[in-house]
Chain A
Amino acid sequence: MLIRRPDVILPSEITDASLFHGRRDWIRNASAMGLIAGLPVLSACSVEAQGMKLAGVKPNPQYVLPDEKINKAEDFKNYCNFYEFGTDKSEPPVLAKALKTRPWTITIEGEVNKPKVFDIDELYKLAPLEERVYRFRCVEAWSMVVPWVGFSLAELIKRVEPRGNAKYVEFVTLADKAIMPGLRSSVLDWPYVEGLRMDEAMHPLTLLTLGAYGEMLPNQNGAPVRMVVPWKYGFKSGKSIVKIRFVEKEPRTAWVKSGPSEYGFYSNVNPNVDHARWSQATERRLGEFGKRRSLMFNGYGEQVASMYAGMDLKKFI
């Protein structure tokens, strides 16, 4: 008889220690309140995923920044632009607590031979999880150095077999009015949509990201799955993705729709092209007093510049 054993225990399947130890308290409280029958048991099973340690993550030695200091996890968790939870950076860390990341599915559709709906836990098994230290440069002229966890988006793309007419990839992110107070504002056209050209999406640097700092992504940083495209301004890296579409035409992204005069589809980090209201020549690395000179393609020019050969980067911004 063949006894099959799963080769990995998914991090999401591991019950959080505090929850484990607290289960008796929970049962006691719930029964005291007369709630124990039926439904509430389900809620006892739903495990809070964010902040859990990710097992089996290997640092990828190709993507380290030995000369740069990694930002503190506290910086990363408390300074977020996530407009669905409010336009102030202090709002997402509080309001994103309402985000439920299990169950979660990501729909892959459009011009592909093998469209598929992935359960989030399937994604963890799709390819080996790597830690990669990337510079992260926000369009607002601040930056961080973050150890992300994930794998190249190319790994996923190969498996769904894009057709020849799939020229672009569109990322659609969660828009849930019940938990996202920011959606009441007309600051952007919801849902937040971002996109990449096919070659950009296939580039090994482009990271399908499931964690950071060795843990599952905090909710406010785009749990359970987000993009990280390190040579582009941060807003290109959509958070809490629910759908990835392969399309023929350049996607109309949320920011292009709302402020076409500010940035276009590409939004590559470019110190030579200013924002309408501020210079992009320098940036403030969080935790540093002075300002740094910003780098073309955020310092990833060697790997990515060839994709834009012949394009006027003052025009295609």
Chain B
Amino acid sequence: MALSVTFPLTVFAPWRSLTNAQVQRAKWVLVALGMLPLARMLIGLPLGWLGVNPIEFVTRSTGTWTIVSLVVTLSITPLRNITGWVWLVRLRRSAGLITFFYAALHFITYVWLDRFFDVNDIIKDIIKRPFITVGFAAFVLLIPLAITSNNALIKKLGAQNWQRLHNLVYVIAILAVVHFIWLARRNPIEPYIYAAIFALLFAARIYWRFKAK
């Protein structure tokens, strides 16, 4: 018997329509959750939660939360298709900006606490070390996306141009995973888990694209 699933799934029907106020509240919940990792670092630093090498902890943690936020951002569309909760899309901008926020913290941690603003060292790193090259590229590509994440600029660019620009997020996700794989210690498992998640999220999009035709 052929398995046939119709999206959106009916179990999610009850929460399909939310009022503006409810969506707004959901947005604040998302932002508050997104700030928890930062809060943990700020509170934990003086309390010794970050271990013997706190700078290494901050470097790793900001990187991890960048990629986790990116997973959340890219999960919203598939989740909307599965649940039929159209309002989810209105949380996507917040998720995307949280991603940029952690990416910026990650970048600043490197520039400041690892390289101590030594421009020569940084340029050498970007040229010589492939994992830094791709990580830096991912961060640079995120900047225009963050800048254009507001209604005024969407209007100015036009929806189609804006969408074309924001398709860069797929390139960024690939660069971010490659950055993680290349920097990780031997036999890394964690970056491949993210690679698999992104592959799944991409596949879901391709599936719906074909179905729509």
Contact surface of A with B, Cβ cutoff 8 Å: 74-75, 78-79, 87, 90, 142, 185-188, 258-259, 274, 277-279, 284, 286-287, 289-291
Contacts and interface: CB of A to CB of B under 8 A. Distances in A.
B139 interface: no
Contacts, number: 39
A299 B113 CA distance: 24
Contacts of A284: 53, 55-56
Contacts of A79: 51-53
Contact of B187 (A187, A278, A291): A187
Contacts of A185: 187
B51 A90 contact: yes
Nearest to A72: B52
Given A78-B52, A284-B55, A258 B186 contact: yes
Main secondary structure of the interface of A (DSSP, over half): loop
Contact of A291 (B53, B116, B186): B116
Contacts of A90: 51
Given A278-B129, A291-B116, A286 B52 contact: yes
A165 to B, nearest CB: 34
A266 B52 CA distance: 29
A277 B182 contact: yes
A45 B35 CA distance: 52
B53 A259 contact: no
Given A258-B186, A278-B129, A78 B116 contact: no
Contacts of A286: 52-53
Contacts of B121: 279
B128 to A, nearest CB: 8
Contacts of B56: 142, 284
Contact of A277 (B55, B113, B129, B187): B129
B77 to A, nearest CB: 34
Given A277-B129, A277-B131, A278-B129, A87 B52 contact: no
B183 interface: yes
Interface in B128-182: 128-129, 131, 182
17 contacts: A75-B52, A79-B53, A87-B186, A90-B51, A187-B186, A259-B186, A277-B129, A277-B182, A279-B121, A279-B125, A284-B53, A284-B56, A286-B52, A286-B53, A289-B113, A290-B116, A291-B114
A75 B186 CA distance: 24
A186 B188 CA distance: 11
A290 B131 CA distance: 23
A313 B131 CA distance: 26
A207 B125 CA distance: 36
Interface string B52-86: 11011000000000000000000000000000000
B187 A87 contact: yes
Please give me the 10 A-B residue pairs with the lowest Cβ-Cβ distance, nearest first. Answer: A79-B52, A187-B187, A75-B52, A187-B186, A78-B52, A286-B52, A87-B185, A286-B53, A185-B187, A277-B129
Contacts of B113: 289
A78 B54 CA distance: 13
Nearest to B114: A291
Contacts of A289: 55, 113
Nearest to B182: A277
B188 to A, nearest CB: 9
Contacts of B129: 277-278
Contact of A74 (B52, B131, B185): B52
A188 B131 CA distance: 23
Nearest to A275: B129
Contacts of A187: 186-187
Contacts of A87: 185-187
A142 B187 contact: no
A98 B131 CA distance: 37
